[in-house]
Structure 1
């Protein structure tokens, strides 16, 4: 096996640039989704359940990380977790797999959290009186998913049958000779 490409996300983008990109995408999605849903919805908005909204907002990031792990449960013994704090209060959970995995399983792991977006959009139509809360949650989660898209950009252009090996900063795409 040899390395087809090494993709170091932290070196290429750095945390602050990823944070700005994610924040910008979050803002754009919120504006677009809120305006769209306000033009569709006819029910008045309700401010009930703010505490529930706050709890879901706080738990959305760990839930997002959990959805990354679900497709990798077969390799749970090889998963490594680290928590790093940015800006003194922002916990970032790093999960690294200490063994090689197939390109398909790694891609599934990257895209599996997008199912949360589908659930949030469905909830917007089921509970139109809480569309303002749900658009905030959707925008926040799409911002989280934008980093996954950056990871997947190189992965999807790799050859079929490639194996992925994660390291501290990114991943290496290995192919058979």
Structure 2
């Protein structure tokens, strides 16, 4: 196999641009999600569970988002080694995937946290509308984190169909078996 393209989001776009895109996505999603649910779905009284609950929920969504990336790999029996790391006090689940994965599986891996956590947030908002403000913030943080997934996803989708994706510490390598 040879490397068709290397994708490193931070190196290609810079940390400040990524933080800006992520913050913009977070804020836009929160406003839209909260307004849509508050206007059309439910107008119940909101319950305050306190600042500590808010901080803990935001703190927990980051490792959950990271962990959700690896669920499709577990389901398809791909070899993986998970590591719990702390980055500035925030727990992050990192994984080592020793073998390249097919392009379609890589797309699912990148989209899985976005789809699943957003779906769970929508269901939670319908079942517990009194917690909408917390749920919408958690969902918005997840969308902000998804920016780091969406940027390489665009490049992976454009890769040839028979490509394999090597997931490594600082990005992705798009691999081809032949030079055709």
TM class, shorter-length: 0.7 to 0.9
Provide the rounded CA distance (Å) in 1 between the counterparts of 2:175 and 2:13.
Answer: 22
Instruction: Give how far 1:136 is off.
Output: 0.9
Tell me, yes or no, if the aligned pair for 1:80 and 1:98 is still in contact at 8 Å. Answer: no
Provide the rounded CA distance (Å) in 1 between the counterparts of 2:92 and 2:21.
Answer: 16
Provide the rounded CA distance (Å) in 1 between the counterparts of 2:15 and 2:91.
Answer: 13
Tell me, yes or no, if the aligned pair for 2:22 and 2:144 is still in contact at 8 Å. Answer: yes
Alignment of 1:50-129 (within 5 A): 51-73=52-74, 74-76=77-79, 78-79=80-81, 81=83, 83=85, 85=87, 88-90=88-90, 93-113=93-113, 114-129=115-130
1:8 corresponding residue in structure 2: 8
Structure 1 counterpart SS, 2:21: helix
- TM-score between both structures, scaled by the size of structure 1: 0.85
Provide the rounded CA distance (Å) in 1 between the counterparts of 2:13 and 2:83.
Answer: 22
Provide the rounded CA distance (Å) in 2 between the counterparts of 1:162 and 1:80.
Answer: 24
1:144 corresponding residue in structure 2: 145
2:172 corresponding residue in structure 1: 171
Structure 2 counterpart SS, 1:95: strand
Structure 2 counterpart SS, 1:45: coil
Higher mean alpha-carbon deviation, 118-127 vs 15-24, is at 15-24
Instruction: Give how far 1:21 is off.
Output: 1.5
Provide the rounded CA distance (Å) in 2 between the counterparts of 1:10 and 1:146.
Answer: 11
**Superimposed CA distance per residue, residues 1-40 of structure 1 (whole angstroms, 9 cap, x where no aligned partner):** 3222221222112333322211111011111112222212
Provide the rounded CA distance (Å) in 1 between the counterparts of 2:128 and 2:82.
Answer: 38
Tell me, yes or no, if the aligned pair for 2:66 and 2:92 is still in contact at 8 Å. Answer: no
Aligned pairs, number: 174
Structure 1 counterpart SS, 2:78: helix
State the Cα RMSD in Å.
Answer: 2.3
Higher mean alpha-carbon deviation, 13-22 vs 104-113, is at 13-22
Structure 2 residue runs without a partner (length 5+): none
Instruction: Give how far 1:145 is off.
Output: 1.4
Instruction: Give how far 1:90 is off.
Output: 4.8
- TM-score between both structures, scaled by the size of structure 2: 0.83
